[in-house]
Chain A
């Protein structure tokens, strides 16, 4: 993958908002039109399409072709990706593979959701039988289990979580697309005093759902050059693991699939963790950022609190984290949430970060986390490394 044969040539993102009253097709139209304009390509150029599912349209079993019809796309490759929060990055990876295989030439990768206006998703599988009767409070409950186990095994410095919360909030204040509801200064004391939902998970450990979306245009580097496009970045490494150690009933829930996905992405790119300029990890919970840092190898197991406290993780720093504010402070637009992290990585590498631009943006790592299984941590882990030309 490190031969830079695939190019990302444009992107667009809506402003996130709570109960926008918008339809999901409206959001999709905004981001696709925006991404085409950003890349400078015509709609006729697009012959590939990958989209995250949408909680708003969760009951529609014909989602991706219907959405593509609304957008006026005639396609040789069309795919809906149902990897939960790993869907956005998974869709981008699948599009690069489809282009490389010759299934399509130029693809739109997108996510749009209006979950706080209309939510038609309904959880099932193990939950009605094995989870709902004991009152586990959804994802905060699962991350509560995880965090208490972490505290027992390694100890956890709440000041590290507070620092992450505060820095991501500072980034969101510099991001016009972040949810206005969240664009207010936050102190470490505010974080530490926030209400506990499912011990020890606080309200400010969790994402807030919102409406929004984003899109990316991806093609072969060769095609981008034919089109006369000069502004491009390249995916140079990718790894994905679903159901890490599912056949181990006594799995260490503090370990995870990012240990596999991260290693693979780094090997693809011929890089080590120290080579990564900035990190845009999927952040449904603050503790998930710490765990991914350990799994990918930015620090050892149990060392992420110290790493966070000793490192400048702001956009000015040595190791910037989630310079858009991440989902924690920009909002989580439903199943399109992964786009908040991925699109910021693209934006920074294009040098379009505005007041929060990272200096010397040579590369970025971004990740996804998808679905919550029965008392493990998460089902899908993916990691991508993007690089400037």
Chain B
């Protein structure tokens, strides 16, 4: 707070000087009342908001969980929800990508690879980066409930003959390579089958159509 007292950018900033003289009467007094009310409201907002963003960033604990519930409505409506755990507590140590094998009614298959940023040029990397985040957030073993949606997308996209030869099922595969510390050559990608989804039961809008 020491900088607040810096002489060169600080005009006398205490409450009295910014609120006007306390000795004024009549209309000025009511005005001062309004200013005071405003100041109290601002103070209340400052305390509430700053506490909210601090609570949201506290390390996980039962206290934090309880306070988060208290603030959840405000943080949701003000859209101040946040998380700043970039590359922490430890960075991810895998290169990962996801592929799908789409099975058609006539027995044919089609391979689909979800966007791999490493295969793109500089400008495309900028525009397509969200694919990396999306795959990072959906391929994890803790969220198998997201995988049918991945399967659905693989079935729908690049599907040129949906009526005559519909999709029967989709297999999803995760390909993962460990990043080995020390500059040594990284091992080969390991392929794991994530799921085999019978997408026939899911609504499959064609590109350009809506599901509703």
Does A pair with B?
no
Q: Which A residues contact B (CB, under 8 angstroms)?
A: none
